[in-house]
Amino acid sequence: MRWFEQFRMAVLMLFRRNNETARLNDELQFHLEQQIAENRSKGMGMDEARSAALRTFGNPTSLRDQARSTWSWNWLEICLRDIRYGARTLARSPGFAIIAILVMALGIGATTSLFTIARAVLLKPLPFREPNKLVMVYEHFRTAIGGDGFNVVSPHDFRDWREQTHGFEDMAAWRNYGFNLTGEHEELPEVVQAAGGSWNLFSVLGVQPVLGRAFTSGEDHPGANHVVLLSWSLFQRRFNGNASILGNSIRLDTNSYTVVGVLPRWFTYPDPRVQLWVPYAQTFTIDEYAAHDQHQSHVVARLRTGVSAAVATKEVSALQYQLYQANASKPVAEDAVFRPMIDDLVQDVKTPLIVLLCAVGCMLLIACLNVSNLLVARSAARRKEVAVRGALGGSRLTLIREQMTESILICAVGGVLGLVISVLVTGWFANHWQGLPRANTIGVDGSVLAFSIGLVFLTALLAGLLPAVSATGSGVLAALQESSRSIGGSASRAVLRKILLAVEVALTVTLLISAGLLFKSFLHLRTSDLGCVTDHVLTIKYGLPEKQYDTREKVAAFHESLLRQLRSLPGVRAAALVSTPPGGGYDGDDVFTIPERPSDKFNLQYDAIYRTADPEYFSALQIPLISGRFFTDQERLTRDHYVIVSKQLASQFFSGDSPLGKHLKVAWGSKPEDFEIIGVVGDTLYDVTQPSKAMMYFPILSGIPSQTSGATIVLRASGDPLALSLPVQKQVAALDPALPVYEVFTMHQILGNSTANQSFSATLVLAFAGLSLLLAAIGLYGVLSYLVAQRVTEIGIRIALGAQKSEVLRLILLDGLRPVVIGSLIGLAGGAIAGALMRSILYGTSPLDPLVFSIMIGSLFLTAVAACTLPALRAARIEPMQALRTE
C-alpha cells in the first residue's frame, strides 16, 4: 500500500502543486497564529505577541523553501526555473540567440545525417542470417603488383574449394553478368544487369525468395534447363508484380528462361542494379566452367561454428597452392585470402565517409567553440551580477547550472531544428552518393535519435562549461572591486577567449586544407588526360546475342553494316567501334608471353588489358599512332592474328626495342596463339581515378562471337553529340529490331560519372570548411569588438597623448591576429596529418601540396584581417575626450 500512497503524493505534487503551495502557506500561517495565541495567553499585548511569535518563527520564506525542498518533483521545479531564466536571458539578446541556435542546428543536423549514413552503411549488420559468420574468400597472387591483393576467383577453383575443403559450413559464388531481356512476344528489348549465383548462394546468405523457389543443384550446370530468379524491382517494373509470371518464361539473349522465383524487395546484394539472377554455371561455357585461369567470381563463405575464418581459409589456401602447382603455366593464384563480407561491401566508401564524418565533427566543434566564445563575452558583461550573487551566498553549482542552462537551451533548440534538417537532407545525401552500398537501409531510428540527443548534451557541455566555470570562478572580491574604468579590462577573460579562438582557427585551417586537397584531387581527375578526344563524343553500347550471331561472319557483317550506316548519318564526323571506350572501365585483362623474348617460366606481370577495335577507332578518337600502322579492313574474320599495343605495353615489355613485327602469345580465342604487333598507339586511361595500364587491341572485325559481340559505338559529332543518340538507335533497330542499346553517354558524362563521388565529397567538405571559416570570422570579429570595447579608455588616453591612428590600428590588428597566427600553425600540422590520413582518396595530389596549403592559409588570413579591420577602425576613430568621459 505504501507505493500507492507515494504515487498519490507524486501525482498530487505534480498536478496540484499550486494548491499544495497554498496549503503549505496556510499551515505555516496556522502555526504562527497558534504561537501568537499562546503568547497572548501569557499576557502579552497584541503587537508584542505578534512580533515575539515572528521572532521565534524565523524567516517564513526560508522555512517554506525548506519544506518545499522535501517535495517530490522539486528537481523539475528547479529545472523549469532555470529554463525560464535561461530563456529570458536569451530573449534579451535575440540576435545572439538566433545565430547561436542556427549554428548549432546546422552542426548537429549535418553530423546526425552523416552518422545516420555511416551507421547504416558501415555499422548495421548485413540483412542476412548470422551476418557476422559470412566472409568473402578471394585468390591472392604473390607476385601481383598493384591492386589490393584480393583477386576474383576462377570457377573451377571455387568448385574445388567447395568440394575438397571442409573448414567452412558452405561456400557459394556469384559473378556479374548482363543480358538482353525480351519477352516471348517481341516485347520491347532492354539490357539488364544480371548476376549468376551458385544454387546454394541464397541458402548460404539465408535468403528465401518471396515467391517461388531458389535454384536447385541440378540447375547449376552449364547446359542445364534455363531458369531465372527475378529481383523485386524487375518483377514490379516489368511484370507489374503479377505472380502468374512464375513458371512462365522470358527471353534472355534470345534464349528462353523459366521464371522460378522472385527475390525479396530488400535483397539488393551485391548491387541494387542487379535485375535478375541465373544459375552460376549457366553463365559459363563448359570450357570456361572448367577453367582455373579465368577470374571473375566472388566467393561467399559461411563460417562453421567453432572454426575461425583464418583456419578455414588456411585449408582453402593449401588446396589453392596445389592447384597453382598443377597449372604452373597459367595465371592461377598461389593462395586464398578472406575478409568479412561487410568490409568487402563497403571498402570503397569507408574512407570518404569517415573523412566526411570527421569534417562535420570538426565543424560542430568549431560551432561549439564559437557559441562558447560568445557566451564568455556575455558572462564577462554579467561578471558583477554573478559576483554579487556569489557574495550573497548563491552556491557556485547553482550559478554554473544557470549558465549551463543557457547553452543547453541553445543546443536543445538547435538540436531539434538540426534533427529536422537531418531528416530532410539525409535522403538527399544518400541519393547523391553514387553506388553507395546499402543505401536502402538508411533511415532515422532510435539509435540515431539517441545519438542526436547525446550530441545535444555533449555540445551543450562543450559550449557552456568553460564560460560557466570561468565566470563563476574565484575572484569574487576582485570582480566587485573592479571599476569599469580600470584600464586593464579583465585580462584573464580575454586570454581565455583568445585560446578558444586559436583552437577554432586551428580546426578551421585543418578543415580548409583537407577540403582544398580533396578539391584539387577532384580537379585533377576532371582535367586528367584520358589520352583521347573527349569533346563532342557520344558512346552507345550494344551486345549481339550469341545464339543468333553465332559465326564470325554474322558478327562482323553486323558491325560493318552498322558502321557504314552510321558514317552516312548527317552530323557524324567519325564513327568507330571499340569494346570499351577510354574511361569506361577495366573490362578484362589477359596474360601473354613474347615468343621473341622467351622467359623461362610463366610470369604474372606479363599482363595487359584487352580491347577490340575497328580500323578507324584510333583516328576517330584521335589516339595518336606512335609507330607502325592501324588495323585495315584486311584484318578480319580468321585473318585476325594481329595486335596493336599501347605505348606503355611497348615500353614496359620491350624496353626500348621496337615491338613491331614481334608477337604476343595470348589465349585470345580458345588456346594461346601468336599475334603479330603491327602498331603502337598512345596510352588511354581505363578509369580516370586509376593509373594507366598496358593495353592491347585486337581487331573487332575478327567477329569471334564471344569476344567481339559486345561493342561500344563511339561517334565524333560536329554538333551536340546527344542529338545523335536517337538516329543511331534507329539505325541499330533497322538492322535488328530486337537488339537494345544501352549506356548512351557522352564522353563528358562518362568522366562525370566516374568522378561524381569525388565531386560530391569534395564539394561537401569544401562547404563545411567554408562554413567553419565564416564561423571563425564571426568569432574573431566578436572577440576583437569586445576587446576594443574593453579598452576604449586606454585607447582614448593613448590618442590624447599623441598616438597616431595608424598605430592604434596596428595595435588592435596585431592583438587580433596573434591567436590567428598561433591557430594557423597548429592547423598546418593538423592539415598535414589529415592529408596523410586521406592519402588513399587523393588522386594526383600530394598530401602536402604547397599550392593548397598556401591558398588556404592565404584565404584564412584575408578573412581574419577583414574580420579584425572593422573593430580596429572603430578603435582608431575613438574620440579621446568622449572616451575619457564615458563611465
Residues forming the site for another protein (CB under 8 A): 1-6, 9-10, 13, 23-24, 26-28, 30-31, 33-35, 57-58, 62-63, 66-72
Place of cell 529554463: 83
CA 599/CA 130 separation, integer angstroms: 49
> Considering beta carbons, is residue 27 or 676 the nearer one to another protein?
27
CA 383/CA 374 separation, integer angstroms: 14
User: Shortest distance, CB of residue 70 to another protein, whole angstroms?
Assistant: 4
Tell me which amino acid residue 847 is.
Answer: P
User: Shortest distance, CB of residue 31 to another protein, whole angstroms?
Assistant: 5
> Considering beta carbons, is residue 66 or 632 the nearer one to another protein?
66
Tell me the DSSP string of 623-637. Answer: PPEEEE----TTS-T
CA 532/CA 621 separation, integer angstroms: 5
Q: What are phi and psi of 739, to 5 degrees?
A: -100, 115
User: Shortest distance, CB of residue 1 to another protein, whole angstroms?
Assistant: 6
> Considering beta carbons, is residue 66 or 882 the nearer one to another protein?
66
User: Shortest distance, CB of residue 76 to another protein, whole angstroms?
Assistant: 14
CA 802/CA 798 separation, integer angstroms: 6
> Considering beta carbons, is residue 13 or 224 the nearer one to another protein?
13
From residue 42, how far is each of 29, 31, 324, 426 by CA, in Å? 20, 17, 115, 79
From residue 39, how far is each of 27, 29, 43, 44, 444 by CA, in Å? 19, 15, 7, 6, 69
User: Shortest distance, CB of residue 377 to another protein, whole angstroms?
Assistant: 39
Strand, helix or coil at 363?
A: helix
Burial pattern 724-740, b for ≥16 Cβ within 10 A else e, equals bbeebbebbeeebeebb
Ranges assigned E (strand) in 571-638: 572-578, 589-593, 607-613, 625-628
> Considering beta carbons, is residue 69 or 256 the nearer one to another protein?
69
User: Shortest distance, CB of residue 46 to another protein, whole angstroms?
Assistant: 17
> Considering beta carbons, is residue 28 or 569 the nearer one to another protein?
28
User: Shortest distance, CB of residue 433 to another protein, whole angstroms?
Assistant: 55
User: Shortest distance, CB of residue 64 to another protein, whole angstroms?
Assistant: 8
> Considering beta carbons, is residue 1 or 328 the nearer one to another protein?
1
The radius of gyration of the chain's CA atoms, rounded to the nearest angstrom, is: 38
> Considering beta carbons, is residue 1 or 145 the nearer one to another protein?
1
User: Shortest distance, CB of residue 56 to another protein, whole angstroms?
Assistant: 8
CA 556/CA 702 separation, integer angstroms: 7
* CA quadruple 579, 582, 587, 590: dihedral sign: positive
> What is the β-pairing status of strands 298-303 and 134-140?
antiparallel
Q: Are 698 and 656 in contact (CB under 8 A)?
A: no
Cβ-proximal residues to 58 (8 Å cutoff; 6+ apart), any chain = none
User: Shortest distance, CB of residue 66 to another protein, whole angstroms?
Assistant: 5
CA 462/CA 407 separation, integer angstroms: 9
Cβ-proximal residues to 473 (8 Å cutoff; 6+ apart), any chain = none
> Considering beta carbons, is residue 2 or 671 the nearer one to another protein?
2
User: Shortest distance, CB of residue 25 to another protein, whole angstroms?
Assistant: 11
DSSP class of 736: -
CA 582/CA 666 separation, integer angstroms: 22
Tell me which amino acid residue 750 is.
Answer: I
User: Shortest distance, CB of residue 267 to another protein, whole angstroms?
Assistant: 57
Q: What are phi and psi of 221, to 5 degrees?
A: -140, 145
User: Shortest distance, CB of residue 24 to another protein, whole angstroms?
Assistant: 8
User: Shortest distance, CB of residue 401 to another protein, whole angstroms?
Assistant: 22
CA 317/CA 321 separation, integer angstroms: 6
According to DSSP, the residues that pair with 603 across neighbouring strands are none
> Considering beta carbons, is residue 8 or 877 the nearer one to another protein?
8
**Closest Cα to residue 359, out of 759, 760, 768?**
768
> Considering beta carbons, is residue 9 or 866 the nearer one to another protein?
9
C-alpha cell at 58: 524565523
Cβ-proximal residues to 431 (8 Å cutoff; 6+ apart), any chain = 439
> Considering beta carbons, is residue 19 or 322 the nearer one to another protein?
19
> Considering beta carbons, is residue 23 or 382 the nearer one to another protein?
23
CA 818/CA 296 separation, integer angstroms: 60
Q: Are 337 and 98 in contact (CB under 8 A)?
A: no
User: Shortest distance, CB of residue 73 to another protein, whole angstroms?
Assistant: 10
> Considering beta carbons, is residue 24 or 667 the nearer one to another protein?
24
According to DSSP, the residues that pair with 214 across neighbouring strands are none
Helix, strand, coil share of the chain (percent; to 5): 55, 15, 30
User: Shortest distance, CB of residue 36 to another protein, whole angstroms?
Assistant: 11
Element (H, E) at 642: strand 642-646
> Considering beta carbons, is residue 27 or 148 the nearer one to another protein?
27
Plot region of 531 (φ>0 → left; ψ -120 to 50 → alpha; else → beta): left
User: Shortest distance, CB of residue 388 to another protein, whole angstroms?
Assistant: 24
User: Shortest distance, CB of residue 479 to another protein, whole angstroms?
Assistant: 29
> Considering beta carbons, is residue 30 or 428 the nearer one to another protein?
30
Q: Are 666 and 720 in contact (CB under 8 A)?
A: no
CA 482/CA 479 separation, integer angstroms: 5
C-alpha cell at 695: 593495353
> Considering beta carbons, is residue 4 or 75 the nearer one to another protein?
4
> Considering beta carbons, is residue 71 or 861 the nearer one to another protein?
71
C-alpha cell at 847: 598530401
